[in-house]
Amino acid sequence: MLEVRNLQSYYGGAHVLRGVSLTIPEGKAVALLGRNGMGKTTLIRSIMGTMPPVVRQGSILYNGEELVGKAPHDIAQRGLGLVPQGRRVFPSLTVQEHLTVASRPPKSHSDTRVNWTLDRIYELFPRLAERKEHRGNQLSGGERQMLAIARALTTNADLLLMDEPSEGLAPIMVQQLKHDFLALKSSGVPIFLVEQNVGLALAVADVVYIIERGQVVYQGQPEELAVNEEIKRKYLGVA
């Protein structure tokens, strides 16, 4: 579905991504783990065509089509949905306005994929249904994160990219996110999850990558990483 090949991305003269390669297959959840400053968000921005950074070498293929050099809105129209780091909720818009302003029907019909209507969104996130008339600046951090995910779902994207969705959330909200992400997987939405929370990533992902100083240093199954204390300690700072 999406394949990154030997990606080299720069912020000015700073060489941040140094030959990153990874694959996100159809119908799967893929997690990218790594500590702060290792290139996770740079990879998301490179995939979505957001500048900076500048991609100077490598390829990003989405269903066989090259994305490098395309504008962000062109990439989004091809079926990629983004849950950005920091939520980026509009303070003056209500929950329901957030969910209708970017809404669009699925590009293709499938018996296994959900059409993310407002009713379906509110079924997945009942808290948003309760708060649908509240404005962005009236929501808690957890509610804003739910809204950011729901807003991306209303685009009926074929692939959902999430950048640090658990950042700043209380443990109880992270548990709720895990439940929501597993529900998304079961609905057939492929997910690329960029995270620092190892437990969340391992619970959701089918495949896990670790990035260190702009390079992929590990690829494996979540159950393999869960018991590999050396790798977790060396690259993630956890035991």
* 236: nearest Cα among 175, 195, 207: 195
Tens of pLDDT, residue by residue over 176-217, are 889 989 988 888 889 999 999 999 999 999 999 999 999 999
pLDDT digits (tens, 9 = 90+) for 82-105: 998 877 899 999 999 999 987 888
Kindly report, residue by residue over 111-135, the tens digit of the pLDDT.
556 788 999 999 989 999 999 999 9
Supply the pTM of this predicted model: 0.88
Sign of CA dihedral 156, 162, 167, 172: positive
User: Which residues make beta-bridge pairs with 161?
Assistant: 82, 192
Angstrom CA distances, 38 to 49, 187, 197, stand at 19, 31, 15
**Domains annotated on the chain, with CATH:** 2-87+152-236 (3.40.50.300)
